[in-house]
Structure 1
Amino acid sequence: MSRSLVILLHGVGSQGAGFAPVIRQWSAQRPDLALAAPDAPFAFDRSPLGRQWFSIQGVTDANRAERVAAARTAFDTTLHAALDDAGLSGQPERVVLVGFSQGAIMALDAVVSGRWPVAGVVAFSGRLASPLPYTPALQTPVLLVHGDADPVMPVAEAPRAAQALEQAGLSVKTLILPGVGHALSADGVAQAATFIHTCLPPAAAEVLH
C-alpha cells in the first residue's frame, strides 16, 4: 500500500493514458506515491474515441454549472475506485487531485463543494464552473496553472477562479506561464511536482530528486 495517491484527471475527449509521460516522470521522482489516471465515466459525444466528465454539446456559461453538478455522482464513483485500488479508501487527506481542462473543472468542484477534503488540488488550464453556494474543504490548498497563450480556455479564467476560491477561504497559488497554450508544459509539470511535494511530504527515507 502506498502512503499517498495522486489522481490525474484528463480533459474532454482524451483518456487517462494521455498522462503516461507525467506518470513516468513523477513515479521516478516519488516512488512512494501511487499515481492513477482513470478514464472519465462517459464516452465523448463528439467522437467515437475519448471520454468526458460531462458533455460540452451546447454548453454555455448559463448551463455549465448544472452539468458539473450532474457529473458529481459518476466522478465521485471514479475517485472512490481509485482510492480503493490504492488501499486508501476513506483517506482523502492522503490524495492530491491533478486535473487538466475539464478534469481541472471537476477537481476544483470536488474541493469547492466540500465533497473531497483532499491534501491538494492542481488545476491546469481550467476554470471554476461549480454552482453556488461554495462550501469548500478549507484545509485543501490549490495551485492554478494556466498558459497565457491558451486558445481554448482563456487565461483570465485563472485569476477569476483564484479570486472566488480565496473569497471562499481557500489558499490559492496562481502560476501563469508565458507562451504556453492549452497544454501541459515541462515547467508547469515541474511546478506541480513541487506543490505535490509540499502537500504529500515523502517519508523520511524518501528524497525528491
Structure 2
Amino acid sequence: MTAQLSGPMVAPESGKPKNLIVLLHGYGSDGNDLIGLAPYWRDLLPDTLVVAPNAPWPCDINPAGYQWFPLELDREISRLEGSGQARPVITGFLEQVWAETGLGAADTILGGFSQGAMMALDAGLRLPDALKGIVAFSGGVISPETIGEELSSKPPVCLIHGAEDDVVPLGMSVRGGEALKTAGLEVRVHVSPGTGHGIAPDGLEVATGFIKGLAP
C-alpha cells in the first residue's frame, strides 16, 4: 500500500483551483518549511492551489522532521535506492490531488528544496504526461548519466543552486542541467553567487520569473 501524504496548503481565493503547485521539502524538515513560498507564487497563475506535503518517513536524525529517503554513508547509493522508494509515493500523491481537483500534469508545477528538489526532478520527469514545469532549489538530477534514457516526459525545468553549497554539490545541478538539455528539455540553470545551502533572493527571483513565464 502506497504511503499517504499530507501537509499544509494554501487554497485559491476563488475556492476552485485551476493550477497546482506542489512543493517538496528538504531532509529533516516538513511542509511548513516551503509553504511560505505560496505568497510569492500563487498569484502568478490564476486560482492556484499550493500544497507542501510532509515526506512519508520520520527523519533518521531529526524525529520532528521527515525524509524522502535515508542518508547513508554513501550518498550516491542512498539517492539511487531511496528515490526508487519515494517516487511512487509522490506520484500517488499527485494522482490523488488531480483526482480530487480535476486538474492534471499540465496544470501542475512541481518544486522542491535539496532532497525534495531531487525528488521533484526524479518523479516529475518520469510522469507520462508533462508537468507545467519543475523548479529545483539546491538539489539536482540524481543520475544524470542515465536520465536521458529514463525520461517519460519533457517539462520545462529551472535549476537553482548556491555557488558555495557545502551540503549538496553544485555539480548535481550543473551536470543535471546539461544532461536534460542534451535530452531535449528546455532548462534554465541559475547559480546564486556567495550562497550556501539555501534559497537566496536572486534565486527566488529567478524561480518567480520562471513560473510567471509558464502562465497562459
Does TM, scored on the shorter chain, surpass 0.5?
yes
Q: Which amino acid aligns with 2:112?
A: G
Query: Shift of the alpha carbon at 1:34?
Result: 1.3
Query: Shift of the alpha carbon at 1:62?
Result: 3.8
Identity value in percent:
36
Report the equivalent of 1:95.
Answer: 108
Deviation track 1:22-74 (CA, whole Å, cap 9, x = no partner) reads 11333355562111111111111112110111111334324521221122121
1:124 to 130, 137, 149: 137
Query: Deviation above 6 Å: which 4+ runs of structure 1?
Result: none
> Where does 1:108-119 land on structure 2 (aligned, <5 Å)?
108-115=121-128, 117-119=130-132
Deviation track 1:136-171 (CA, whole Å, cap 9, x = no partner) reads 312x10000011011111112221001111122211
Report the equivalent of 1:48.
Answer: 63
Answer yes or no: is 1:194 the counterpart of 2:209: yes
Answer yes or no: is 1:78 the counterpart of 2:93: yes
- The change in CA–CA distance for 1:179 and 1:158 in structure 2 (over 3 A counts) is same
Report the equivalent of 2:4.
Answer: none
Q: Distance in 2 between matches of 1:179 and 1:59?
A: 27
Q: Distance in 2 between matches of 1:149 and 1:21?
A: 24
Structure 2 gaps, min length 5? 1-15
Q: Which amino acid aligns with 1:145?
A: I
Q: Which amino acid aligns with 1:155?
A: L
Structure 1 gaps, min length 5? 202-209
Q: Distance in 2 between matches of 1:106 and 1:19?
A: 15
Give secondary structure in 1 for the equivalent of 2:83.
helix
Count of residues in correspondence between the two structures: 198
Answer yes or no: is 1:174 the counterpart of 2:189: yes
Which TM-score applies when normalising by structure 2?
0.83
Q: Distance in 1 between matches of 2:75 and 2:164?
A: 22
Query: Shift of the alpha carbon at 1:108?
Result: 0.8
CA contact (8 A) 1:13 1:52 kept: yes
- The change in CA–CA distance for 1:35 and 1:63 in structure 2 (over 3 A counts) is closer
Answer yes or no: is 1:160 the counterpart of 2:157: no
Which TM-score applies when normalising by structure 1?
0.85
Query: Shift of the alpha carbon at 1:122?
Result: 0.5
